[in-house]
Amino acid sequence: MKNPYLLLTPGPLSTSESVRSAMLRDWCTWDTEYNSIVQEIRKRLVGLAGVRSDAYTSVLMQGSGTFTVESVIGTVIPKETGKLLVVINGAYGKRMAEIAKMLDIPTIVCAFEEHETINMEQVMILLEEHQDITHVAMVHCETTTGILNPIKEFCDVAKRYNKVTIIDAMSSFGGMPIMIEDLQIDFLISSANKCIQGVPGFGFVIANRKKLEECQGNARSLSLDLYSQYKTMEEHGGKWRFTSPTHVVRAFYQALIELEEEGGIMARHQRYVENQWILVEGMVKLGFKPFLHKGIQSPIITSFYYPKVSDFQFEQFYGSIKEKGFVIYPGKISQVDTFRIGNIGEVYPKDIHRLLEAIETTIALETKGVR
């Protein structure tokens, strides 16, 4: 079935017809054929992170990406001695801090403006002042703006101070190379419906096996107990503790196959980079200004200022673009008016060119007073 529009969003995103078709069969959660698919997914995820040893494992968790973030924060930080530092420059960093607060986890926040990348000197100052911090967390690609945070520098500082690292790579893993073992990331979090181009329904954690084994008894939740989920999958050949999203899992497996067929993460990364480059160049020609400068902009999603015209209304602009076959995203920046356009998913340079034509037509019609 042909989609009525292309999703130019940070996820859920447009998927291939073959990924969607993979959901047409029903599966039993106890069946060994299904569970072998789960095990293959776990193995492939670790491989995508550049790991070739037994030092890392992966765990799948039901729900949205935020469910998986909460499963990590709520499980890996010890109840009595744990203390978390969250580095924030957007809505999803704030969400991690909010989760920790809800779980009564002692938390220190290192906050920056939404257009600012993370300053490691300020992070180090807080690590010096609060030496009882045990874990540090950061969002790699903040889809609030599309900013790309310095993952290597952050992990280097964390390990210099002997801290456990938690990286929210929700919007970057699968679309950008991340060598988890080289970076010494202990827990990396992402979701099925992002750069691997599956559909919503579960998230996953790629974890340092030794660090994960130390988490027994830490969980503040029954259903979001990451350690127990891991042990069940390990001991029962891919079995989930509670009902798993079987159709979504099968679609994700198909998406992994298609990632490999495309040429792996580097090939997909290059496609996303080209999408984003064409988008920005075209939007600038049409009079739109990107919110971030090039040096800190990710290839995942791009924020644009509202144009400097008094009668611009995003809802009308959005509706007109949607009628022409494209769905974009409202802004999430707190200080200025912006909207966002994603470059990930089953989206190719030809699609970005078509989008730009649609935007140019919309602008021309609105200039003439045609709504």
CATH number at residue 242: 3.40.640.10
Task: Judge if 254 and 341 occupy the same domain.
Answer: no
**Percentage of the chain surpassing pLDDT 90?**
90
- In a domain? residue 100: yes
- In a domain? residue 1: no
Task: Judge if 218 and 315 occupy the same domain.
Answer: no
Task: Judge if 315 and 182 occupy the same domain.
Answer: no
Quote the pTM value: 0.95
- In a domain? residue 5: no
Interstrand relation of 338-342 and 329-330 (parallel, antiparallel or unpaired): antiparallel
For residues 248-268, give the mean pLDDT. Answer: 98
pLDDT tens digits, 34-45: 999 999 999 999
**Percentage of the chain surpassing pLDDT 70?**
97
Task: Judge if 152 and 225 occupy the same domain.
Answer: yes
Number of structural domains (the chain) is: 2
The pLDDT confidence band at residue 331, using thresholds 50, 70 and 90, is: confident
- Tell me: pLDDT of 13 over 70: yes
Task: Judge if 253 and 278 occupy the same domain.
Answer: no
Q: What end-to-end distance do the CA atoms of the chain give, in Å?
A: 30
In which element (H, E) is residue 349 found? helix 349-367
- Tell me: pLDDT of 261 over 90: yes
- In a domain? residue 91: yes
Task: Judge if 47 and 75 occupy the same domain.
Answer: yes
- Domain extent for 317: 264-367
Task: Judge if 276 and 158 occupy the same domain.
Answer: no
For residues 1-23, give the mean pLDDT. Answer: 90
Domain final residue, candidates 232, 261, 290: 261
Domain final residue, candidates 206, 238, 261: 261
- Tell me: pLDDT of 272 over 90: yes
Task: Judge if 122 and 222 occupy the same domain.
Answer: yes
Task: Judge if 221 and 345 occupy the same domain.
Answer: no
Quick one: tokens of 222? 């029954």
Query: pLDDT value at position 210?
Result: 97
- In a domain? residue 216: yes
Q: Are 132 and 83 in contact (CB under 8 A)?
A: yes
pLDDT tens digits, 274-292: 999 999 999 999 999 999 9
Domain final residue, candidates 261, 289, 306: 261
- In a domain? residue 329: yes
Task: Judge if 79 and 225 occupy the same domain.
Answer: yes
- In a domain? residue 25: yes
DSSP notation for 220-264: S-STT-HHHHHHHHHHTTS--SS---HHHHHHHHHHHHHHHHHTH
Q: Please tell me which residue, 312 or 184, carries the higher pLDDT value.
A: 184
For residues 84-113, give the mean pLDDT. Answer: 97
Task: Judge if 340 and 279 occupy the same domain.
Answer: yes
Mean pLDDT score of the chain: 94
Task: Judge if 122 and 221 occupy the same domain.
Answer: yes
CATH number at residue 300: 3.90.1150.10
The pLDDT confidence band at residue 164, using thresholds 50, 70 and 90, is: very high
Query: pLDDT value at position 369?
Result: 52
pLDDT tens digits, 202-213: 999 999 999 999
Q: Partners of 136 in the beta sheet?
A: 85, 165
pLDDT tens digits, 68-81: 999 999 999 999 99
